[in-house]
Amino acid sequence: MFTMVHRRTRFSGLAAGAALAMSTATIISGCAVQARVYAPPPPRVYVEPPVVSAAVVAPGVTITATEAPPPLPEYEQPPCPEEGYIWTPGYWHYGAAGYYWVPGTWVQPPSVGLLWTPAYWGFAGGVYGFHAGYWGPHVGFYGGVNYGFGYVGVGFAGGRWDGGHFAYNTSVTNVNTTIIHNTYNRTVINNVTVNNRVSFNGGAGGTAAVPTAEERSFAQERHIPPTATQVSHIQEAARNPALSARTNGGHPAIAATVRPGAFSGAGVVGARGAVPLAARPANAAEAPRASAPNERGPTGGAAAQANNHTPAAAAKAPGEAQRAQARPEPKAQPKPESRPQGKPQAKPQQKPKPAPKPAAQKKKNEEGEKGR
């Protein structure tokens, strides 16, 4: 009896041990499954954001550069073409080839009552960010950059809207008062250092201006981007190699224009130090003719006659050129042949041919005397 109980107890102990082992294995296997499900994600899932981006620099910045823009060139303002145009100052833009100058020009605003806030460069986040210009009811912050002609770094003193018409301050803008009568004269105090041509805000060497409370409120107003003519003006400047800072050394030959996109002809103003443009008005009628035979001008005929070896001569006066070429050709053929044979004297000898006649007459006279 004791033996049977002992065997049952031993069997139950073994069964309990087996059950415990099975439960332990189940728990272990369950833990292994949970470890697979809650494993940490691989490091590749996390992507670090770029160090600098246009959005990080400042709101509204879409272009950045690692080098500062060149100083602003010095130039004169062309006259206002007609009433209603507002001056938009020139500035340095940035493209694939680096900085290029967008000439200042007179522009018609999109609607009455709008003013232009110039573009400017601002240093932030280790780069220079471009803030595009815009139209609005007030002139906002443009970096404290002194663009001149009323844009002295804060606001605009070059004119104002008065009863639906734009009035010009003749003390800082170039306006012909015999044509445009909506004018006034008010002295503008310029607190910016003389000859300070800084073209960017912040950073080493930049302006230290910060937006005022009023300028910050203006930033919340409705703004209108540059007009289609302004965009075309910018694109034309980007395509012009002469406006690249690498080419002109910071002195663009086309610093300002009377109208957007008018990069040639009357009304184009060059910057100080832009020798090519300063030299062109004096000899523009002569110098371009040799390099541009397709151009037409009052001096083209004289230049073509003076330079018959150029293709411009044949292009401008085909009939005369053919005659001029036809005349020397027959003369050129006998000349090389006559030089070694001494035939050039044959032509002048043909004129005094009467010389043999007196000799023949002498013979006849002698014969006559003999006959007598």
Secondary structure of 29-74 as H, E, C letters: HHHHHHHHHCCCCCHHHCCCCCCCCHHHHCCCEEEEECCCCCCCCC
Tens digits of per-residue pLDDT, 336-369? 444 444 444 444 445 455 554 544 454 455 555 4
pLDDT, residue 156, reads: 97
pLDDT, residue 296, reads: 33
Q: For 351-364, give one letter per residue: b (16+ CB within 10 A) or e.
A: eeeeeeeeeeeeee
Tens digits of per-residue pLDDT, 9-51? 444 554 555 555 555 555 444 444 445 555 666 665 444 444 4
Instruction: Read off φ and ψ for residue 101, nearest 5 degrees.
Output: -90, 130
What would you measure as the largest C-alpha separation in the chain, in angstroms?
206
pLDDT, residue 102, reads: 98
pLDDT, residue 206, reads: 96
Q: Could you write out the DSSP letters of every residue in 223-246?
A: -BPPPHHHHHHHHHHHH-GGGBHH
Region 49-74: mean pLDDT is 73
Could you tell me the end-to-end alpha-carbon distance of the chain, in angstroms, rounded to an integer? 206
Task: Out of 37-46, 134-143, 235-244, 261-270, pick the least confident.
Answer: 37-46
Question: How far is Cα 48 from Cα 124, in angstroms, rounded to an integer?
Answer: 20
- State whether the Cα torsion 288-289-294-300 is positive or negative: positive
Q: What six digits make up the tokens of 35?
A: 């470890």
**295 pLDDT more than 50:** no
280 burial type by CB count under 10 A (0-12 exposed, 13-18 middle, 19+ buried): middle
Name the residue with higher pLDDT: 163 or 116. 116
**111 pLDDT more than 50:** yes
- Helix (H/G/I), strand (E/B), else coil: 20: helix
Question: How far is Cα 167 from Cα 172, in angstroms, rounded to an integer?
Answer: 12
**281 pLDDT more than 60:** no
**Banded model confidence at residue 153, pLDDT cuts 50, 70, 90:** very high
Q: Taking all residues of the chain, what is their mean pLDDT, rounded to a whole number?
A: 74
Q: What six digits make up the tokens of 234?
A: 């910018």
Q: What six digits make up the tokens of 320?
A: 């005369």
pTM, two decimals, is 0.61
**78 pLDDT more than 80:** yes
pLDDT, residue 189, reads: 77
pLDDT, residue 209, reads: 95
**316 pLDDT more than 50:** no
Region 274-280: mean pLDDT is 57
Q: For 134-147, give one letter per residue: b (16+ CB within 10 A) or e.
A: bbbeebbbbbbbbb
- Residue that has been written with the tokens 């290029």 in this structure: 100
For residue 370, give the H/E element and its range: helix 356-371
Check residue 345 and report its DSSP letter. Answer: G
**136 pLDDT more than 90:** yes
**Banded model confidence at residue 143, pLDDT cuts 50, 70, 90:** very high
Structural domain boundaries in the chain: 60-278
Q: For 294-328, give one letter per residue: b (16+ CB within 10 A) or e.
A: eeeeeebbebbeeeeebebbbebbeeebeebeeee
Tens digits of per-residue pLDDT, 170-206? 999 999 999 999 999 999 876 554 447 999 999 999 9
**131 pLDDT more than 90:** yes
**Banded model confidence at residue 62, pLDDT cuts 50, 70, 90:** confident
**163 pLDDT more than 60:** yes
- State whether the Cα torsion 79-81-82-86 is positive or negative: negative
Cβ atoms of residues 62 and 207 within 8 Å: no
Overall residue count recorded for the chain in this entry: 372
Closest C-alpha among 16, 227, 1 to residue 135: 227
Check residue 138 and report its DSSP letter. Answer: S
